[in-house]
Amino acid sequence: MQNRRNALKNTAFLKDSKNKSEFIILACMQDKCGYIEGSTDMRTSEIIRRTNETDIALTLSLDGGDIGISTGIGFFDHMLNSFAVHSGFGLTVKAIGDITVDGHHTVEDVGIVLGRAFNEAIGDKAGIKRFSSCFLPMDETLAFAAVDISGRPFLKYDAQMNWQMIGDYDASLTEEFFRALATNAGITMHVKLEYGKNTHHCVEAIYKAVAHAMRLACKQTGGEILSTKGVL
């Protein structure tokens, strides 16, 4: 917890819900941190992960909140921001990686941390819709995503694109990101690029399609866990 507080130094977060009164205030000034938590049933997570290749601090709220992204890879920042907006998630990411080598470690490791945060925030999966899918058009491009918040990690990814680099982002890392996300979140995920010419449009449509599918699958419908086994 102390590491998390230090990584989020000089930040504050306030969240109100229409359905219930709940808030988190996290305020850090220099070496002193104050943490006040209201409702304990908020679907949130804070994770820090440090390796020899990347240093990542991430916060996630499945029911909305602040969005702030900084990874050192401009187009990836754009994709994560789009993912947060279209999923309805509150998401902050501060990542420092060995991008002088390339972006692979940063993109994949952010996927790992986001997946772990999602798995923590979603809890026992009681009362969620669980399944969802989305066809998402972007100009000449059409992408499809389907997810099952099943506890059984799997990615089927089928996307052929015309060129590899979008600025400093390698489009082939899109698959690596979603594999890391699905594996660590415990999600069964299918992604297919139906067609498209502009690689920027293709990648962005994929991120947005997954975001919308996850948004609907996370929706709280009430009731028990949606499984004949009784657990997920």
Q: What is the pLDDT of residue 104?
A: 97
Query: 2-122: which CATH architecture?
Result: 2-Layer Sandwich (3.30)
Please indicate whether the domains covering 2-122 and 131-217 agree at the CATH topology level.
yes
Closest CA to 87 of 106, 103, 67: 67
Closest CA to 90 of 57, 58, 134: 58
The mean of the pLDDT values for the chain is 85
User: What is 131-217's CATH number?
Assistant: 3.30.230.40
pTM (global) more than 0.85? no
Q: What is the pLDDT of residue 25?
A: 28
In contact, 8 and 46? CB cutoff 8 Å: yes
Q: How sure is the predictor about 216, in pLDDT bands with cuts at 50, 70 and 90? A: very high
Q: What is the pLDDT of residues 110-165, one digit of tens each?
A: 999 999 999 999 998 989 999 999 999 999 999 999 999 999 999 999 999 999 99
Domain borders along the chain are 2-122, 131-217
In contact, 94 and 43? CB cutoff 8 Å: no
